[in-house]
Amino acid sequence: MSAISNTTFCPCGWYDRKFSSGSSGRQRVNTDHLKNFEVRLPSQKAVNDFNTVADSIVPKLNLNYSQIRTLEKLRDTLLPRLMSSEVRLAL
């Protein structure tokens, strides 16, 4: 079996809600599920095919996350000022 060394392919499959437990912000893997978890390694061709698509998408996702954070900060700054009439919008 050859090792699959890749930075894009691996993180995309790590999170699966059905294997997590706990209601706090820190999820835990249920050990009973983990004991029965079967790991299947994809072929190198499948990894390469995935990377061809994912490598173009990941930068866009990162840009979207950055824009979301900027918009959240703007909302958190402006909304209280709008609600208190400190700032008014011209109609």
- Rounded distance between C-alpha atoms, residue 69 and residue 59, angstroms: 16
**pLDDT (tens digit per residue) in 32-74:** 877 887 778 888 898 888 888 888 888 898 899 999 999 999 9
**pLDDT (tens digit per residue) in 73-90:** 999 999 999 999 998 888
Contact 61, 11 (CB under 8 A): no
The sign of the torsion formed by the CA atoms of 24, 29, 30, 31 equals negative
CA distances from 19 to 12, 27, 41, 78 (A): 15, 9, 19, 40
> pTM surpassing 0.95?
no
